Structure 1
Amino acid sequence: MLESLGLADDVTDQPAALPTTARGRRRREAIVDAATEVMHANGIFQSSLDEVLDRGGAGKSQLYHYFGGKQELIRAVIERQLENVLATEPTFDSVRTWRGLEQWRDAFLARHATESGPLGCRLGKFAGELDNDEALRPVLVAAFEEWRSHMTAAFARIQARGELRVDVDPETMSKSLMAAIQGGLLLGRLRRDVDALTHSIEMAFGYLGTFRV
């Protein structure tokens, strides 16, 4: 499936050295940005290398110079999508109370309440494509875990303030909330209706609220 990207089979997947010049870093970033846009729109394995390079204003020689191979390019795209998620979704980093968590919930639902249903998850969109790829699936899992770690930290802060039972595991709570987010986003996108996401998040909060002190 990776061959659809048009990358040569003889290109190694050993990581290429990061550019040492500002110009080189800009060129690499432009390729990653272009690949991220194309793969988000078309899917990883339905995206052509020519479209990526055309959008990024680069040639194949530059791609092979900045990336060890096709897997490294996809890894860079996953990492960029994690950055986009953390930059665009309401943040957990300022959540320290249960009220703050409710404010996060309200902001999250407001962001996804569009006329065509909730926005698709930039990371979740790749899950089906990479499910059976033993090299890239762990990279996507790690990205989800990095996102979830911000939720876990928020629950730990709420617990430290005495608003959650001491026997509750913040890790377990963040797993429950992440599952509700991903399930709601998936069904909401399929139905073009934010109600599925709203119900999923509200039910999750109903469950998590049973552990409040």
Structure 2
Amino acid sequence: MTEEPKPRRLTPKGRATRDRIIEAATELIARNGVAGTGIEDVRAAAGVSGSQLYHYFDSKQALIRAVITRQADSVLHPDQPRVTALDSFDALRAWADAAIERQRENGCRGDCTLGSLAGELSVSDEESRTDLATGFLRWKDLILDGLRAMRDRGGLRADADLDELALSLLTALQGGVLLSQTMLHVRPLEAAMNASLAYVHSFATTAGR
């Protein structure tokens, strides 16, 4: 088996340049989609030369995969709806409200998210589909960790299928965002999140309630 090459170690300046390229690509994809974003568009938006861009990304696919990784990591950023501490019903509600508010603030216009990237890439690009699936599974596992903490504290019944609950919450978020952005209204996302949270609440213990 051929080993994958180890990631190039970057200087702080090199890391900043690479991050700027990824940021520019992310913003362009949010506006124009993957198909409508060309390498030259990214180069101009990032303010780098062609040789600089190809130093970090030898193809558009490599750049797109970096964008996918960035967006999978976005749940760790303080300005994004967080799934890193969903260990109470209040935290779950706050996370849902943050996602809804984000859509309301941007008028339900498209973002460059794992969901939007999956809509363009999951069928046509197997490598990207695998990266997207890995990102979604990371998000699901973060939700699962919070639910597990709730159960361990006695807030959720012992018979609750935590994996199913975590997938329900993640699917509600992704599906709700897709419909909200299609219909340009937050109501689909609100309905999806409310229904999924109600499902989780149905497994609450007396102490959890």
The answer to whether the superposition gives a TM-score over 0.5 is yes
CA distance in 2: counterparts of 1:131 and 1:78, whole angstroms: 12
Aligned partner of 1:30 in structure 2 is 20
- Cα 1:128–1:35 shift into 2, 3 Å: same
1:123 to 108, 114, 117: 114
- Cα 1:117–1:36 shift into 2, 3 Å: closer
1:157-176 → structure 2 map (5 Å cutoff): 157-176=149-168
TM-score by structure 1 length?
Answer: 0.83
1:126-165 → structure 2 map (5 Å cutoff): 126-132=117-123, 133-165=125-157
Matching of residue 64 in structure 1 with residue 58 in structure 2: no
CA distance in 2: counterparts of 1:93 and 1:70, whole angstroms: 31
CA distance in 2: counterparts of 1:84 and 1:32, whole angstroms: 13
Unaligned runs of 5+ in 1: 1-13
Corresponding residue pairs, total = 200
Matching of residue 102 in structure 1 with residue 93 in structure 2: yes
Unaligned runs of 5+ in 2: none
TM-score by structure 2 length?
Answer: 0.85
CA contact (8 A) 1:188 1:196 kept: yes
Aligned partner of 1:4 in structure 2 is none
What's the offset of the Cα at 1:121?
A: 6.3
CA contact (8 A) 2:144 2:162 kept: yes
Local SS of the residue matching 1:78: helix
What's the offset of the Cα at 1:120?
A: 4.3
Superimposed CA distance per residue, residues 71-113 of structure 1 (whole angstroms, 9 cap, x where no aligned partner): 2211111111223344233323333322332333334333333
Structure 1 residue runs of 4+, over 4 Å off? 14-17, 118-121
CA distance in 2: counterparts of 1:158 and 1:118, whole angstroms: 34
What's the offset of the Cα at 1:115?
A: 7.6
CA distance in 1: counterparts of 2:46 and 2:63, whole angstroms: 13
RMSD (CA atoms)? 2.2
- Cα 1:154–1:119 shift into 2, 3 Å: farther
